[in-house]
Amino acid sequence: MTAPTALDVLADPARGQAGDPVLNSVVFGVFVLITLYVVYRVSSRNSSTADYYAAGGGFTGVQNGIALSGDFLSAASFLGIAGAIAIHGYDGFLYSIGFLVAWLVNLLLIAELVRNTGRFTMGDVLAFRMRQRPVRAAAATSTLVISLFYMLAQMAGAGAVVALLLDVHTKGGQAVVIAVVGLVMIFYVLVGGMKGTTWVQMIKAVVLLLCVVLMTVFLLGKFGFSFSALLDQAAANNTKGEKILDPGVQYGRTPITTLDFISLSLALILGAAGLPHVLMRFYTVPDARQARRSVVWAVGTMSVFYVATLVIGYGASALVGSERILDSTGKENSAAPLLAFEIGGTVLMGVVAAVAFATILAVVAGLTITASASFAHDVYANILRKGKADTAREVRVARLTAVVVGLLAIAGGIMANGQNVAFLVALAFAFAASANLSTLLYSLFWRRFNTSGTLWGMYGGLGSCLLLVFFSPVVSGAPTSIVSGVDFHLFPLSNPGIISIPVSFVCGYLGTVLSREQADPAMAKEMAVRSLTGIGR
């Protein structure tokens, strides 16, 4: 039990502020410079659509797998889950499991088939055998909605990280930092296209993984490699005591919170396979086997990562203590950085700070390129120009969209700074699971599925999600709601997944069987052959 002495030594005078802001900025600056150099070097040509959207399909499965985990492990995963475990214990761990198991859906049902059927966007797959314009419009709508929600959550989180790590406490100062982060991100996407963005994600994933593994080994070593001893210490330093080792601290309070947890779990496990920025990554590899290998590598790196966050989360409770974490500027989100300070001083703290920033940067870059691809490819090239746009102009539109989306992200991040937006990530998963997964699966596996079914499924899922959220305690009627003062909440759960996911499956089914339109049998056959064998791509 060395922890109490460590705590005594670090009777932090400036409570809540940890580390040296200058050092933190320097380490982050080094990361940005290295990635900018790499992006500049790899992005010799980005003029064709295949280059800009899919890096010419030139990445290996291993590279793409690491980039996938870089894309998927957001700030919410790193800071959020470690913090949730440190404060609420076991219930935080439940998130990690959902995030990981979800990849089996990708592995078994989605990755290879999507890579074989489409070229650049989710709309390519969904519109393959349907009427192009309405289906592409629906796919673009859901891609843009999901990406923007996801992005907003990341950028709003950036404000908290800035406050904690750079010691910038005025809203104006934070806005400047958020804007700088956003501009760097736009630069990555514009100059690097998918290739540069992928490299940023790979570098970030490797640094993040090294960082959490080293912290984990160190933590376990401190407790004589006895996880049980670490758990005991974690319980001793948490105000909730032994209870943090058991499920139910956060979700077990009332039957409603329990149901909310089940709803969230469904959204997590079914959402990952419908996230547009994840789907788009499967186009960066040359064939289905490499797509399969991507998922294998993603599962491998993420297993390591989530086991490490379990140790880090409980370790933060053990060495920092729940009270000090909650007293700090970043609250829950500061658990991992505070722990880093505790075990590695200002240097490790600086590294963790840089990793947290890099995480936000890389994830937002991935979202931006996805949103811009969907707008340029689905809306501009296929809806407005009816598939006859020349590729140079399409890429120009994509770049322009990336700038607009990036600026929106900056503005949104500044406005949402400090708001309770953690639900947005879970919500993006619920949207992805409801609007995209049902239609993708029907499209790939059900021959009769037709245009009207696709539209019903997507809009039914999206619509029911939006409606349920609008009338949920997230928006009104609870202390943490966005709107205070009025209470118009009718739906008790903050995550709509448990209703909206089945709704979208039922809508997709009904829309198909109730319409008189026949699915095109020749196209259905072609899609079946292409998706399984990759012929034609």
Nearest residue (CB) to other proteins, 404 versus 532: 532
Quote the least distance from Cβ 523 to other proteins, whole Å.
9
* Candidate segments 23-31, 99-107, 209-217, 473-481, binder of other proteins by CB under 8 A: 99-107
Dihedral pair phi/psi, residue 417, rounded to 5°: -55, 125
Our finding on whether 528 is near other proteins (CB under 8 A) is: yes
Nearest residue (CB) to other proteins, 364 versus 389: 389
Determine which residue in the list 16, 286, 300, 463 makes contact with other proteins, applying CB under 8 A: 300
Our finding on whether 97 is near other proteins (CB under 8 A) is: yes
Q: Is the dihedral of CA 242, 248, 252, 253 positive or negative?
A: positive
Quote the least distance from Cβ 292 to other proteins, whole Å.
7
Token digits for 72? Answer: 């998927």
Our finding on whether 319 is near other proteins (CB under 8 A) is: no
* Candidate segments 276-284, 301-309, 358-366, 471-479, binder of other proteins by CB under 8 A: 301-309
The Cα–Cα gap between 28 and 352 comes to 9
Our finding on whether 288 is near other proteins (CB under 8 A) is: yes
Determine which residue in the list 20, 517, 520, 526 makes contact with other proteins, applying CB under 8 A: 526
Our finding on whether 327 is near other proteins (CB under 8 A) is: no
Instruction: Tell me the Ramachandran region of residue 206: left when phi exceeds 0, alpha when psi lies from -120 to 50, beta otherwise.
Output: alpha
Nearest residue (CB) to other proteins, 10 versus 383: 383
Nearest residue (CB) to other proteins, 58 versus 300: 300
In terms of C-beta density within 10 A (0-12 exposed, 13-18 middle, 19 or more buried), how is residue 138 classed? buried
Our finding on whether 226 is near other proteins (CB under 8 A) is: yes
Determine which residue in the list 248, 463, 477, 492 makes contact with other proteins, applying CB under 8 A: 248
CA distances from 42 to 36, 399, 478 (A): 10, 17, 49
Dihedral pair phi/psi, residue 268, rounded to 5°: -65, -50
Determine which residue in the list 34, 101, 407, 478 makes contact with other proteins, applying CB under 8 A: 101
Cβ distance 97 to 84 under 8 Å? no
Our finding on whether 41 is near other proteins (CB under 8 A) is: no
Size of the site for other proteins (CB under 8 A): 57
Our finding on whether 253 is near other proteins (CB under 8 A) is: no
The Cα–Cα gap between 208 and 202 comes to 10
CB atoms within 10 A of CB 408: 17
Token digits for 154? Answer: 């990341």
Determine which residue in the list 132, 303, 391, 419 makes contact with other proteins, applying CB under 8 A: 303
* Candidate segments 107-115, 203-211, 374-382, 475-483, binder of other proteins by CB under 8 A: 107-115
The Cα–Cα gap between 463 and 478 comes to 23
Determine which residue in the list 41, 169, 171, 386 makes contact with other proteins, applying CB under 8 A: 386
The Cα–Cα gap between 227 and 304 comes to 16
Dump the DSSP string for 5-43.
HHHHHT--SSTT--S-HHHHHHHHHHHHHHHHHHHHHH-
In terms of C-beta density within 10 A (0-12 exposed, 13-18 middle, 19 or more buried), how is residue 78 classed? buried
Residues of this chain that interact with other proteins (CB under 8 A) are 90, 93-94, 97-98, 100-101, 103-105, 107-109, 226-229, 231-232, 235, 245-248, 251-252, 258, 261-262, 265, 269, 288-289, 292, 295-296, 299-300, 303, 306-307, 385-388, 445, 522, 525-526, 528-530, 532-536
